[in-house]
């Protein structure tokens, strides 16, 4: 572990980055460090953390906006929202179990990794709900993009650029999110299906129905279950589950679970718990077109691993032996349907020796280097986190 | 008036050579060089500004677009990308020394996949064209700008356009999966695809809403959604804007997110009623149109909940549509709002700031005061759920003083939006119109940072120049690689 600097405020953080820039000294960027095991390890003598930049700075339930400093733990935000009957739209996964971390993710970390859960299929990704950011660029300047209103197209959208940039383009210090009312009721229809292909067809039929399915996953087990979630006012949930049962009657035996049982199932899917990844195994996250999900399941099986499909089949969590060959096979499986494969968790030697993210075509990679230079000219922010030598 | 840069004489002198070169790339009638035939391209939805371009080129393939951009890049010619030219901020306004690259001939639907719920279309397909192609199967493309009959998906991507239903379904950015992107150097890059989350930097997110500053888009992969069982609207009229604002807060606070939540002030109600005879209450200070979705029973349930909430705010009238026809009648006035204002005033400027919704009463009061001060009428329509305000400032384009005042009035409104915590533009883009106001919202360093990112894509600043960024503050030199 490198030396940890955890400034007390944004000015302190900006000063730390400015000093690193002046000294041309790479720094690792993190919140609580709960996802240190994600993507590639950073070689840096110092780590700058946002963990002391904590607290909700603005919350207007009727305006559907919440702002918090980047180091605010996600559970704290979820609790504040729950008090007003609202929630985080993208239901980001809690990756503590996957990475064996005892500290919860921070808001900055979740946005920087653009991690979204089951609701992404209908309600959008984490990055879709970022309305505004304050951030420190690689020279130590404090800048803003977006704002605190729901609709804003003023200037280039650096919120989206920084969301999913894993701290390589800037250090977010405060983030404003769109939030929504949490549903009054929820229930899940479970369809027993013979295999992944039939399961994805059932999910597709549900997602193509007018009933507003807000979660669509294949839960491994005996039998394999296609799970379709409805979240709404109570009378609507009853009505829509009934209509979904009619729609999906031909796909297999049906059961309905409600309330807390439904919520618990989706927390598990969100956190990839049903994947049952073993400590020595690596974990991948593949984003593919939904109908390509079953091919990923097959590829995982051929490697002696397992897959969990969410997002109607379009998100595959895979657990398999941590080898370069397994990685290559899964990258190929994603590429076969023009999708994207991310090595999510692996021992350090594997993370260092393979490309953990899809390669970009040369002209885009060149633009990427120039954009990186525009934000972090000395290349000090999280070097090597996403790609070797960048 | 907003200043446009002086044309480069050396480019103007090369007109014939440039037109000839473009003709070798795009054959037939795809290149327009004759000044009389350039006239239709001289303006966009911001009709007060006009400038005939050097030439217009109308490619039919991505390869042609790439070759045109490469030629312009290699020979230092400025480029103004164009879709349908409905931009209300002058985003597609030509320059005298620029080539307009119009994508209206790239209007094919390439792929529709209902199982995986996406469509791939060329940039020149109209917004409504996507929905038309899938509605037979019960699907639709969600963002629905009022200009949807004309505007094109490429323009929607570049403006990150919204619509009346974006409170529930989001704006363009939230409904895209991928684009075929062409750089000014002529490189063709596929970004995203039929899957939800591309790994790596979110190039799609950065390109969306970039107003033609970073490159051109020739194909777009959009999400298509299954439509709801049905939808129905209600109308609620109140004695004061503050009261209507409080009703909006109470509706959202109750956990209901209507699919649309539109607000009109008194002048707007009057203009729309005179035009559409929709039965709007003329004694109301403010009126809401609220739409919900679902089965008939679900609609009833939601509309009853909303009605009960509105009743707490002493409404002047509450009218729940009993049928789809009655819903249409309620919407008719609102949908015709721009046209209605056009009938009572020879010309109007449509502003587009966003404010925190709690600031609505204060902002409307200040706009009323400014209206008196400038001596120009104003009617306000407002996407109340998301705070996007559209004041329509009425003026007379034949009177330069009236136009000058209207622009100053609009500028003051947008400054007010920023002051109360909002922004200059919610969906129409900066274009030329709001370019010089960018310093109100952003610091010099923030603008420099955005400029540096533009430079990373377009080192010579040939793409849609003199838009978005204030002219003073030269392009930031490219950091060495
Ligand atoms: C009556 C009316 C109502 C409107 N209602 C709404 C509304 O409800 N919501 C809303 O958001 N907007 C609305 N608008 C504004 C306008 O329709 C949108 O901004 C629309 O997206 C523009 O599309 P277009 O095809 O006309 O693009 P254009 O006006 O031709 O171009 C828009 C911008 O994008 C660039 N561009 C266009 N195509 C490409 C491409 N393929 N590659 C790169 N750059 C490109 C242009 O250079 C320009 O900067 C309205 C306009 C009118 C006239």
Question: Count of domains in chain A?
Answer: 3
| Residue A32 phi, psi dihedral angles, 5° rounding | -90, 0
Q: Give me the residue from A150, A363, A386 closest to B183, CB to CB.
A: A363
Half-sphere exposure of B67 (CA within 13 A, CB side): 15
Which CATH number does the domain B112-226 belong to among 3.30.1950.10, 1.10.540.10, 3.30.465.10, 3.30.460.20?
A: 3.30.465.10
CATH of the domain at A325: 3.30.70
| C-alpha triplet B30, B31, B37: angle, nearest 5° | 105
Q: How many CA atoms lie within 13 A of B120 on its CB side?
A: 15
Residues A346 and A234 both lie in one domain: no
- Are residues A101 and A126 both part of a single domain? yes
Q: pLDDT band at residue A205, thresholds of 50, 70 and 90?
A: very high
Reported confidence tier of residue B472, pLDDT bands at 50, 70, 90: confident
pLDDT at residue A390, as a whole number: 75
Report the pLDDT value the prediction gives residue B474, as an integer from 0 to 100.
61
In-domain check, residue A60: yes
What letter would DSSP give residue B172? G
**Contact (CB<8Å) B355/A149:** yes
Identify the three-state secondary structure at position B373.
helix
Q: Is A61 on the interface with B (CB under 8 A)?
A: yes
Q: Is the pLDDT of residue B479 over 90?
A: no
A207 and A66 belong to one structural domain: no
pLDDT, one tens digit per residue, over B309-349 is 999 999 999 999 999 899 999 998 888 888 888 888 889 99
Question: Which tens digits make up the pLDDT trace of B201-235?
Answer: 999 999 999 999 999 999 999 999 999 999 999 99
The reply to whether A338 and A365 lie within a common domain is no
In this predicted structure, the answer to whether residue A239 has a pLDDT above a threshold of 50 is yes
Task: Provide the residue ranges of all domains of chain B, joining segments of one domain with +.
Answer: 112-226, 231-335, 345-432
For residue A376, pLDDT over 60 is answered with: yes
In a domain, A311, yes or no: yes
Ligand 1 centroid from CA B126, angstroms: 11
- The span from the CA of A20 to the CA of B103, in Å, is 46
Cis ω for the linkage preceding A223 (within 30 of 0): yes
In this prediction, residue A40 carries a pLDDT of 96
Q: What is the per-residue pLDDT for A59?
A: 98
Q: What average pLDDT does the segment B260-268 reach?
A: 94
Using CB atoms within 10 Å of the CB of residue A357, give its burial: 0 to 12 exposed, 13 to 18 middle, 19+ buried.
buried
Confidence at residue A74, expressed as pLDDT on a 0 to 100 scale = 98
Query: CA-CA distances (angstroms) from residue B399 to B339, B346, B375, B395?
Result: 21, 11, 14, 8
User: pLDDT digits over A328-348, tens only?
Assistant: 999 999 999 999 999 999 999
* One domain, residues A82 and A228: no
The pLDDT of residue B475? 64
Supply the pLDDT for residue A20. Answer: 98
Nearest CA owner, ligand 1 atom 16: B87
DSSP conformation letters of B108-143: -EEEEETTTTEEEEETTSBHHHHHHHHGGGTEE---
- Give Cβ neighbours of residue A32 (< 8 Å, ≥ 6 apart): A49, A51, A71, A73, A101, A103, A104, A105, A106, A109
Query: Is residue A275, in this structure, part of any structural domain at all?
Result: no
Tokens matching residue A195: 């295999």
Tell me if B81 CB under 6 Å of ligand 1: yes
Q: Residue A221 above 60 pLDDT?
A: yes
Task: Kindly report, residue by residue over B56-67, the tens digit of the pLDDT.
Answer: 999 999 999 999
Both A190 and A259 in one domain: the answer is yes
Whether residue B195 and residue A340 make contact (CB cut-off 8 A), yes or no, is yes
Mean pLDDT computed over B242-264: 93
Q: Calculate mean pLDDT across residues A62-74.
A: 97
| Whole-number Å distance between alpha carbons of B56 and B481 | 35
User: B69: closest CA among B209, B77, B211?
Assistant: B77
Confidence tier at A204 by pLDDT (50, 70, 90)? very high
Of A222, A238, A270, the residue that ends a domain is A270
B231-335: CATH topology is Alpha-Beta Plaits (3.30.70)
Confidence bin at A49 (pLDDT 50/70/90): very high
Give residue B256's pLDDT. 95
The pLDDT of residue B481 is above 80: no
Q: Flag whether residue A207 sits within 8 Å of chain B, measured between CB atoms.
A: yes
Q: Which residues contact B245 (CB under 8 A, 6 or more apart)?
A: B286, B357, B358, B360, B361, B384
What residues make up the domain containing A116?
1-182+359-390
Residue after which a domain boundary falls, among A223, A241, A270: A270
* A243 plus A98 within the same structural domain: no
Question: Going edge to edge, which strands form the sheet with A130-136?
Answer: A56-60, A65-69, A171-178, A130-136, A142-146
Q: Quick one: A139 and A258 in the same domain?
A: no
Same fold yes or no, B231-335 and B345-432: yes
Three-state DSSP state, A205 = helix
CB of residue B33 inside a 6 A radius of ligand 1: no
pLDDT grade, residue B270 (50/70/90)?
very high
Q: Is residue A8 part of a domain?
A: yes
Residue B422 is nearest to which of A145, A149, A363, comparing CB atoms?
A149
Q: What is the CATH number of the domain that holds A369?
A: 3.30.465.10
* B36-63 confidence digits (pLDDT tens): 999 999 999 999 999 999 999 999 999 9
| Å between A295 CA and nearest CA of chain B | 14
> Taking the domain B345-432, which CATH number applies?
3.30.70.2740
Asked if A148 and A81 sit in the same domain, the reply is yes
Count the alpha carbons within 13 Å of B389 in the hemisphere toward its beta carbon: 31
Tell me the pLDDT tens digit for each residue of A279-310: 999 999 999 999 999 999 999 999 999 999 99
Q: What is the mean pLDDT of residues A72-93?
A: 98
Chain pair A-B, CB pairs under 8 angstroms: 272
Query: How far from the centroid of its chain's Cα atoms is residue B369's Cα?
Result: 27
% pLDDT > 70, chain A: 100
Regarding whether A148 and A28 lie in a shared domain, the answer is yes
With contacts defined as CB-CB under 8 Å, which chain A residues touch B194?
A: 289, 337-338
Q: Whose CA is nearest to atom 19 of ligand 1?
A: B87
Closest CA to A208 of B435, B224, B288: B224
Averaged pLDDT of chain B: 95
Q: Which of A151, A154, A161 sits opposite B171 (nearest CB)?
A: A151
Instruction: Quote the pLDDT of residue A1.
Output: 58
Residues A208 and A316 in one domain: no
Residue A320 located in a structural domain: yes
Q: What are the pLDDT digits (tens) for A141-185?
A: 999 999 999 999 999 999 999 999 999 999 999 999 999 999 999
Query: Do residues A344 and A383 both lie within one domain?
Result: no
Distance CA B350, CA B340 (A): 13
Q: What is the pLDDT of residue A348?
A: 95
pLDDT digits (tens, 9 = 90+) for A9-36: 999 999 999 999 999 999 999 999 999 9
Q: Is B91 in the pocket of ligand 1 (CB under 6 A)?
A: yes
In chain B, pLDDT over 70 holds for what percent of residues?
Answer: 98
- Cβ-based burial of B401 (10 A; exposed 0-12, middle 13-18, buried ≥19): exposed
The whole-number pLDDT of residue B340 equals: 87
Q: Is any atom of ligand 1 closer than 6 Å to the C-beta of B145?
A: yes
Angle at B20 between CA B16 and CA B21, to 5 degrees: 120
Average pLDDT over every residue of A382-389: 94
């Amino acid at each position: 572990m490198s030396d940890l600097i955890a400034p007390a405020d944004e000015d302190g953080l900006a000063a730390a980055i400015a000093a690193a820039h002046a000294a041309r000294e790479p720094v690792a960027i993190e919140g609580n460090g709960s996802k240190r095991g994600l993507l590639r390890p950073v070689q840096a003598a110092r780590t700058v953390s946002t963990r002391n930049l904590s607290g909700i700075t603005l919350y207007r339930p009727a305006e559907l906006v919440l702002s918090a400093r980047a180091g605010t733990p996600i559970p704290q935000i979820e609790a504040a929202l729950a008090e007003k009957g609202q929630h985080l739209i993208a239901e980001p996964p809690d990756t503590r179990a996957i990475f064996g971390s005892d500290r919860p993710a921070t808001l900055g970390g979740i946005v920087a990794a653009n991690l979204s859960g089951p609701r992404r299929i209908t309600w959008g990704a984490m990055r879709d709900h970022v309305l505004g950011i304050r951030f420190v660029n690689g020279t130590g300047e404090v800048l803003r993009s977006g704002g605190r209103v729901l609709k804003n197209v003023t200037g280039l959208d650096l919120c989206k650029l920084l969301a999913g940039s894993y701290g390589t383009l800037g250090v977010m210090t405060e983030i404003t999110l769109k939030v929504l009312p949490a549903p009054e009721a929820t229930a899940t229809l479970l369809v027993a299906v013979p295999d992944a292909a039939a399961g994805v067809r059932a999910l597709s039929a549900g997602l193509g129905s007018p009933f507003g399915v807000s979660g669509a996953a294949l839960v491994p087990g005996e039998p394999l279950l296609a799970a379709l979630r409805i979240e709404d006012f109570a009378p609507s949930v009853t009505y829509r589950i009934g209509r979904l049962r009619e729609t999906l009657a031909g796909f297999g035996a049906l059961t309905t679970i409600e309330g807390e049982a439904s919520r618990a199932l989706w927390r598990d899917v969100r956190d990839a718990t049903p994947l049952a990844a073993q400590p020595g195994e690596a974990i991948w996250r593949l984003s593919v077109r939904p109908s390509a999900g079953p091919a990923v399941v097959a590829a995982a099986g051929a490697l002696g691993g397992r897959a969990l499909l969410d997002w109607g089949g379009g998100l595959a969590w895979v657990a398999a032996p941590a080898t370069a060959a397994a990685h290559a096979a899964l990258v190929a499986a994603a590429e076969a349907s023009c999708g994207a494969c991310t090595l999510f968790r692996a021992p350090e030697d594997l993370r260092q020796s393979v490309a953990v993210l899809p390669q970009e075509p040369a002209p885009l990679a060149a633009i990427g280097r120039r954009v990186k230079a525009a934000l972090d000219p000395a290349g000090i922010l999280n070097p090597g986190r996403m790609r070797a030598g960048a | 008036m907003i200043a446009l840069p002086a044309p480069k004489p050396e480019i103007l002198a090369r007109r014939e050579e440039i037109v000839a070169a473009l003709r070798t790339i795009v054959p037939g009638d795809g290149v327009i060089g004759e000044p009389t035939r350039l006239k239709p391209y001289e303006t966009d939805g911001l009709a007060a500004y006009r400038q005939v371009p050097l030439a217009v080129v109308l490619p039919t393939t991505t390869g042609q677009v790439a070759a045109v951009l490469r030629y312009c890049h290699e020979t230092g010619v400025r480029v103004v990308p164009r879709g349908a030219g409905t931009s209300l901020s002058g985003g597609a306004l030509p320059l005298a020394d620029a080539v307009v690259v119009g994508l209206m001939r790239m209007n094919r639907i390439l792929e529709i996949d209902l199982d995986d719920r996406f469509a791939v279309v060329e940039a020149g397909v109209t917004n409504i064209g996507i929905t038309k192609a899938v509605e037979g199967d019960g699907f639709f493309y969600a963002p629905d700008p009022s200009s949807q009959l004309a505007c094109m998906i490429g323009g929607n991507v570049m403006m990150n356009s919204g619509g009346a239903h974006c409170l529930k379904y989001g704006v363009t950015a939230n409904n895209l999966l991928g684009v075929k992107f062409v750089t000014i150097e002529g490189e063709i890059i596929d970004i995203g695809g039929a899957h939800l989350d591309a790994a790596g930097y979110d190039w799609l997110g950065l390109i969306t809403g970039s107003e033609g500053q970073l490159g051109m888009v020739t194909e777009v992969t959009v999400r298509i959604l299954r439509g709801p069982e049905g939808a129905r609207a209600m109308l609620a009229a109140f004695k004061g804007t503050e009261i209507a604002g409080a009703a909006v807060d109470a509706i959202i606070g109750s956990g209901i997110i209507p699919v649309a939540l539109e607000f009109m002030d008194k002048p707007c109600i009057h203009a729309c009623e005179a035009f559409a005879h929709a039965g709007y209450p003329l004694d109301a200070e403010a009126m809401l149109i609220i739409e919900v979705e679902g089965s008939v029973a679900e609609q009833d349930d939601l509309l009853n909940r909303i009605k009960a909430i509105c009743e707490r705010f002493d409404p002047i009238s509450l009218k729940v549509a009993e049928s789809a026809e009655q819903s249409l009648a309620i919407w008719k006035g609102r949908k015709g709002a721009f046209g209605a204002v056009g009938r009572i005033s020879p010309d109007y400027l449509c502003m587009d700031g966003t404010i925190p919704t709690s600031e609505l009463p204060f902002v409307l009061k200040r706009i009323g005061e400014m209206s008196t001060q400038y001596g120009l009428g104003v009617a306000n329509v407002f996407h109340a759920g998301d705070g996007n305000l559209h004041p329509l400032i009425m003026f007379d384009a034949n009177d330069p003083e009236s136009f000058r005042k209207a622009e100053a009035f609009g500028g003051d409104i947008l400054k007010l939006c920023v002051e109360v915590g909002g922004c200059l533009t919610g969906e129409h883009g900066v274009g030329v119109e709001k370019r010089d106001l960018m310093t109100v919202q952003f610091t010099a360093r923030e603008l420099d940072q955005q400029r540096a990112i533009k430079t990373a894509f377009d080192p010579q600043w040939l793409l849609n120049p003199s838009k978005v960024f204030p002219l003073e503050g030269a392009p930031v030199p490219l950091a060495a690689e």
